[in-house]
Structure 1
Amino acid sequence: MKKFINDVDLVEEQMIQGMVKAYPQYLKKLDCGNVVVRAAKKERKVALVSGGGSGHEPAHGGFVGEGMLDAAVAGAVFTSPTPDQIYEAVKEVATEAGVLLIVKNYTGDVMNFEMGEEMAQMEGIRVDHVITNDDVAVKDSLYTVGRRGVAGTVFVHKIAGALAEQGAALPEVKAVALKVIDNVRTMGAAIAPCTVPAAGNPGFTLGENEMEVGIGIHGEPGTHREERKTADETADLLLDQILADIDYAGSEVAVMINGAGATPLMELYIINNHVADVLKEKGIRVYRTYVGEYMTSIEMQGFSISLLKLDEQMKELLDAKADTPAWKEIGGKTHG
């Protein structure tokens, strides 16, 4: 294993400390573990808390800031944070308007976030949650019962965060988060694995001409392994599954081409070039496109495609101002 780290036991802590030192205008770290919150607490508005295992950077700490999250809770690499950490995050950012937890559908995340929610409710804090499940690749995996929550979760952060910033009540913020969850679908593929520092070895092996289709964000297996294909052919494989799951005909969509950590932007743009052409041919209008690393898997060489079917409310909230270390949006309607 070749990595620029100091001690496998300090990876997460030193990463979070480095993030806070890079962005003190946005973030501060709590003393209860690897929890980051907004440097300036949001008052009298619904607060949003998300998180999960480390190794998905910039998710989740990179999305803490104006118009998105109020706190992000980081567990060890690919491991859920503890209920105590989640409770401390909720307690720190809670306002009289309440707190919404945005949880990806992994067994440990769901269990621990729900326990943290119950602990906060026992203290009289108003808390609710939503569970993201945008991955169309597999119904059940090593980590989940039901579909996995993957890169489409970032759209939930953005849109629910925008509505919370406007001062909407907790039921309204939850409702728009659920609407995004109902309308976003994702699928990914990889041609090389990642290595968890504490494990020291890749999570799986692929031959030179093999790729894993339907890969998860923890390197867990997808639907199948097959001979490596061109960028266009691979994008078609993923798009076929996504477009079969929701009727996107005649819709406007937001597109996210998400890099898994070691895929060059050059390749992501090549993929987007084809995705845009396919959607145009099918009469699906692209409202906004996001290309880059939003939810990674350490240094996995792969990518995912997310499509979000938009309505007027979601378009307005997607356009709303956001300012975080990993997401900059000046506001105003720009069409991709």
Structure 2
Amino acid sequence: MKKIINNPSTVVDEALRGLAAAHADLLRVHTEPTYVVRADAPRPGRVAVVSGGGSGHEPLHTGFVGRGMLDAACPGAVFTSPTPDQVQAAIRAVDGGAGVVLVVKNYTGDVLNFETAAELAAAEGIEVRTVVVDDDVAVKDSTYTAGRRGVGGTVLLEKIVGAAAERGADLATCEELARRVVAGVRSFGMALTSCTVPHVGEPSFSLTEDEMELGVGIHGEPGRSRIALEPADGIVRRLLDGVVEDLPFTESDRVLLFTNGMGGTPTIELYVAHGIAERLLAERGIRVERRLVGPYITSLEMQGMSITLLRLDDELTELWDAPVHTPALRWGV
């Protein structure tokens, strides 16, 4: 294992100290329990948006704390859910009296711990709505989930609901928008290599030089199949077919196309893949109106990619375009 770390047991804490030092104008890092909040939290009279999950997927979620996106994020240990006390403390820290939306990826530990925190917050008089993201078309169930996993669609949901909250939308409106995104977003990923969790010290799985894992999860969970490595055209076609046919997306649909890197994929390869995806969608008559390309929900140093499509309407497009200013995503400011 070769990593730029000191000690596997302190890597998350040290990374958070670095995040706080680099972005003190945008966020604060709280410890015992650990959570990250906007520098201006709480915002009186505004709905707050809170998310979180295991570390190792950066910039998700801590890199999306800031104006127009998340009010708080709760980072667990690497590939480990945050605890209920972390989430409860984050809810308290950002509650401005208008309620809190919890954005939860569909992994068993995340769902249970966020649910417990929501119940504790409700007992304190804080109104909480929970939305679970389950956009991965690769498999119905996995080691970590009951149902589909939450993956790339989480980034798009956090941006859109965060923009609505920034504008002053009420809790019911923010929840409805979040559920609309969940209903209209699908993702599919693949891997060329595994990742190595620091405290484990060895790859999560192994692939030969001529193999790829189709439908891999962001924790290295197995996907649909292990098949022979293909050129980029074949890889992207497989991913896109799985996504398009699941909803299904149809001719004349307007979409946001998100081409995501898993952490170890060079940007040049992501743009190769994105260009292919644009061409294939055009051939189907599906209109790509918005785009996002880059490593925004990763799996440590895994080489691989995922494709996410979100069906757009005028309101979702407007909220996507709204200003955002976070460590990892910013425009319009």
- The interval holding the TM-score normalised by the smaller chain is over 0.9
Give every structure 1 segment of 4 or more consecutive aligned residues whose post-TM-superposition deviation is greater than 2 Å: 31-34
- Name the amino acid aligned to 2:220: G
| Counterpart for residue 19 of structure 1 | 19
CA–CA distance in 2 between the matches of 1:188 and 1:77? 20
Partner of residue 305, structure 2: 303
Aligned residue for 2:210?
209
**1:20-35 → structure 2 map (5 Å cutoff):** 20-35=20-35
Q: Trace 1:256-335 onto structure 2 (pairs within 5 A).
A: 256-330=258-332
In the aligned structure 1, how far is the partner of 2:300 from the partner of 2:55? 9
Counterpart CA distance in 2 for 1:111 and 1:206 is 33
Paired with 1:43 and 1:205, the residues of 2 have a C-alpha distance of 50
- How many residues of Structure 1 are paired with residues of Structure 2 in the alignment? 331
Q: C-alpha separation between the residues in 1 aligned to 2:312 and 2:44? A: 29
Corresponding residue of 1:169: 170
Q: Distance in 2 between matches of 1:117 and 1:263?
A: 36
CA deviations 1:23-70 (Å, max 9, x no partner) are 000110112233100011122100000000000000001100011000
Unaligned runs of 5+ in 1: 332-336
The 2-side partners of 1:50 and 1:244 are apart by: 29
Q: TM-score, normalised by structure 1?
A: 0.97
Q: Deviations over 1:200-254 (max 9, x none)?
A: 0100000010000001010111011000011110010111111111232211100
Partners of 1:239 and 1:78 in 2: how far apart? Answer: 27
For the Cα contact (< 8 Å) 1:47–1:100, is it kept in 2?
Answer: yes
Q: Deviations over 1:2-24 (max 9, x none)?
A: 11100111011111111111000
- 2: CA distance, partners of 1:98 / 1:278: 42
Structure 1 residue 126, shift from structure 2 partner: 1.1
Counterpart amino acid of residue 72 in structure 2: A
Q: Per-residue CA shift, 1:186-205, capped at 9, x if unaligned?
A: 00000000000000010000
Mapped partners of 2:233, 2:72: distance in 1: 38
- Indicate the SS of the match to 1:53: strand
| Alpha-carbon contact 1:50-1:71 (below 8 Å) kept | yes
1:122-178 deviation per Cα after TM superposition (whole angstroms, max 9, x unaligned): 111111110000000000000000000001110100111111111111011000000
| 1:101 counterpart SS class | strand
Residue in 2 aligned with 1:222? 223
Q: Which residue does the alignment assign to 1:198?
A: 199
| Structure-1 separation of matches of 2:216 and 2:4 | 25
Q: What does 1:144-155 correspond to in 2, within 5 Å?
A: 144-155=145-156
Q: Is the 8 A contact 2:33 2:85 kept in 1?
A: no
* Contact 2:70–2:158 (8 Å) recurs in 1: yes
Cα contact 1:12–1:34 (8 A) shared by 2: no
Gaps of 5+ in 2: none
Match of 2:56 in 1: 55
1:96 corresponding residue in structure 2: 97
Which region of structure 1 is more displaced relative to structure 2, 193-202 or 28-37? 28-37
Report if aligned partners of 1:184, 1:309 keep a CA contact under 8 Å in 2.
Answer: yes
1:157 aligns with 2:184: no
